[in-house]
Structure 1
């Protein structure tokens, strides 16, 4: 595992730690699924395998969509215990049949064995690669509805977020809640020379202009 604080990919910051994307693990995923990984997603794995992508996306796409953050990236290869756990690509793929995700996408004509879970929001909402013959590597999401007491009307559903992984990255943005959480989690009262503080400041400078005026920002 690399203990680097962050890496950059297509103007997006991914926070570490990172694992090496071994070619044999790429082959293991592709052999089990029976399809190659899309080139754009594979290029991303070679730069930032694992880690956190603390950017938001709107679901459904558009100004009125709900804001979600699929920050937890599933890693290629085994976990720290040497197994394909639920936060690994193969582990998540193997656990998909029979789930509510598989049933929902099957109703839309997308078989579970052509879906690769690639990230989650830290909860139950998940992000998928559509590797079906007509999917072309689309990015799909499954989002659970919210109870009425939240005051946010959102039903359980699934749908297309982007035509490919690079297109998905292009839709991402830093929302206020994620910015504050990331600052408090990684930085807190850390000194200006702390590497995590420097990484988070760079991330905010690039994605949230004017963030230093926020109440939670350093003075």
Structure 2
């Protein structure tokens, strides 16, 4: 996983890694009721939230930027409005148990880790989708990557936005 490649920043300035009490990671695991992937902990220690320059990703099987999604911001472990603790508490009822929101897009759709699976995949929940698949199931959730590492490594820069 190449975290530096995605250039996470806040207002153009590189984000510092998490500087607070290491017990905060255990607190988050206790709140969610599941262990956090080591790669996600490494990410928070390197970049505690912020906007990645390489922020675009695609649903499985797509590679056309017309169908891409973009991260607005990763949630931070530090206290504040964009804190992962607040995101978890806000979205727990909607997303379900063992689901940890890690980022959002500009429409406040949630990018999350499904900690109920090993390794935890990264998925996205779209709040304004009312489509059903061929089995009549809602398509508001979809798999983005098989792991957090694959998610980070798959982020790209949308050249149409530069």
- TM-score, scaled to structure 2: 0.79
Q: Mapping of 1:1-219 within 5 angstroms?
A: 9-16=3-10, 17-18=15-16, 20-22=18-20, 23-54=22-53, 55-64=55-64, 66-79=67-80, 85=81, 87-99=82-94, 102=95, 112-132=96-116, 134-144=117-127, 157-179=140-162
Q: Give 1:19 shift.
A: 5.5
Q: Give 1:163 shift.
A: 1.2
Larger Rg over CA atoms:
1
Counting matched residue pairs gives 147
Gaps of 5+ in 1: 1-7, 80-84, 103-111, 147-154, 180-219
Distance in 1 (CA, whole Å) between partners of 2:92 and 2:109 is 16
- What RMSD, in angstroms, separates the aligned Cα atoms of the two structures? 2.4
Tell me, yes or no, if the aligned pair for 1:141 and 1:161 is still in contact at 8 Å: yes
What stretches of structure 1 move > 6 A for 4+ residues in a row? none
Over 3 Å counting, the alpha-carbon distance change for 1:60 and 1:144 in structure 2 is farther
Gaps of 5+ in 2: 130-137
Q: Give 1:21 shift.
A: 4.5
Distance in 1 (CA, whole Å) between partners of 2:3 and 2:156 is 14
Q: Give 1:162 shift.
A: 0.9
Q: Give 3-state SS (helix, strand or coil) of 2:144's partner.
A: strand
